Structure 1
Amino acid sequence: MSSQSLEQLSNLRPLTRLVTGHDQHGKSELHESSTFQWSHHDDAKMTFSVAYSTSSSPPVLTNDADLEAHKAAMARGMGLVNPRGSVLRFVDIAPGHVCAMHRTRSLDYGIVLEGEVELVLDDGVSKMRRGDVAVQRATMHQWRNASENEWARMVFVLQDCQAGVEEDLGDGGWLPPSGN
């Protein structure tokens, strides 16, 4: 299961979220700056931080509707995917950890920011290094930190997709279902 925390468990650089907007004259401004809030999963071997989410596609920015939708999604809680929207999630993976085999009903872009991560599929393992991207198309998969002593960090953009496959979160109930 998970627990919400402000604490970052990894020794990787802390991250800041900057959200832009417009002032009353239509000029761009910094709307908000905040540190990431982390949730801990798999006995604190994986930590997640949702930097932003949308609840529609395309998102509605007028009158800060997207900001309110993000706040509402975070307040109600979400699985890996936000139904009818997108999720920008950062994931820190402990040394040597491998998550449960799982599938989301989504199109995901997973980018390695720090360390080396292995993408485990039914047909084998692919090693990913800093800057490499996986285009994850609703297939069963696992993520494994290839290092035995260094944390790894990935960023994911998950977009809800049309039905065709069902979400399968594997063993252990490590996250609530997405409901899409």
Structure 2
Amino acid sequence: MASADNTRKDIRPIQRFITTHASDGKTIFSDAISEEAPFQTLPDNVDFALCYATDQFPAPLDNDRDIDTYRHYTQNLPGITIPSGTVLRVVDMPPGALSPMHRTISLDYGVVLEGEIDLILDSGEKRTMKRGDISIQRGTNHAWKNRSETSWARMLYVLQPAGRLVIAGQEMTDNSTDTIPGYDKD
């Protein structure tokens, strides 16, 4: 995955502010990681920013262990989800982009930050999401489409692991590493 060139987009770069504690117990902003969220461009021209990640739930906050975990993942990108932790990701979709139909075995909260995006299900149903609208993905097969032919769209996702999912006697599986360009199996 290549680093993204933010000059090609019509939306601003993202900053994220991580808080921590000073040795006297007062709350401060951490300077352990740059405040600018780095984007990576996938082969289909979609930009992913891993804005935070944990590998345990609940997350261990003492001695900034969660920040150390996140720093590790910024240098060793995880898959779409982390089986025992959480992922905070921002996805920038170029004009007209359509993701492959995919499923993760996770509970995902998605929020449209910029633009309008269609959430398409494998049943053929779809909903148009506008700025501020929220989706809750529960291990379902779905795709995303940026409705604009001229402007980028941006979504924020919080992904957390889910237990085994059985529908009509068949166990559902994660197919995101087979369908999302640029992501390999862990």
Q: What's the TM-score, normalizing by structure 1?
A: 0.91
Structure 2 unaligned residues grouped into runs of 5+: 166-171
Any conservation in 2 of the 1:54–1:69 contact (CA below 8 Å)?
yes
Structure 1 unaligned residues grouped into runs of 5+: none
Write the distance in 2 (CA, Å) between the matches of 1:115 and 1:25: 43
Cα RMSD (Å): 1.5
Any conservation in 1 of the 2:117–2:129 contact (CA below 8 Å)?
yes
The amino acid across from 1:26 in the alignment is G
Q: Secondary structure at the match of 2:90?
A: strand
Cα 1:17–1:172 shift into 2, 3 Å = closer
Aligned length, in residue pairs: 175
The amino acid across from 2:11 in the alignment is L
Matches within 5 A, 1:94-105: 94-105=94-105
Q: Secondary structure at the match of 2:145?
A: strand
Moved more, 160-169 or 149-158: 160-169
Could you tell me which residue of structure 2 aligns to residue 175 of structure 1? 183
What displacement does 1:14 show? 1.4
Could you tell me which residue of structure 2 aligns to residue 38 of structure 1? 39
Point out 4+ residue stretches in structure 1 off by more than 3 angstroms. 170-174
Moved more, 47-56 or 35-44: 35-44
Write the distance in 1 (CA, Å) between the matches of 2:65 and 2:51: 17
The amino acid across from 1:138 in the alignment is G
CA displacement, residues 7-36 of structure 1 (integer Å, 9 cap, x when unaligned): 324220111111111111000001135211
Q: Secondary structure at the match of 1:26?
A: coil
Any conservation in 1 of the 2:43–2:181 contact (CA below 8 Å)?
no
> Greater strand percent: which structure?
1
The amino acid across from 2:40 in the alignment is S
Write the distance in 2 (CA, Å) between the matches of 1:7 and 1:168: 28
CA displacement, residues 54-92 of structure 1 (integer Å, 9 cap, x when unaligned): 111110000111111112233332110012000000000
Write the distance in 2 (CA, Å) between the matches of 1:84 and 1:41: 24
Any conservation in 1 of the 2:107–2:136 contact (CA below 8 Å)?
yes
Write the distance in 1 (CA, Å) between the matches of 2:180 and 2:47: 16
The amino acid across from 1:176 in the alignment is D
Q: Secondary structure at the match of 2:63?
A: helix
Identical-pair percentage = 37
Moved more, 163-172 or 130-139: 163-172
Could you tell me which residue of structure 1 aligns to residue 13 of structure 2? 14
Could you tell me which residue of structure 1 aligns to residue 168 of structure 2? none
Matches within 5 A, 1:46-61: 46-61=46-61
Any conservation in 1 of the 2:42–2:181 contact (CA below 8 Å)?
no
Could you tell me which residue of structure 2 aligns to residue 78 of structure 1? 78
The amino acid across from 1:51 in the alignment is C
Moved more, 32-41 or 136-145: 32-41
Q: Secondary structure at the match of 2:16?
A: strand
Write the distance in 1 (CA, Å) between the matches of 2:17 and 2:179: 35
The amino acid across from 1:128 in the alignment is M
Write the distance in 1 (CA, Å) between the matches of 2:122 and 2:17: 38
Write the distance in 2 (CA, Å) between the matches of 1:137 and 1:146: 23
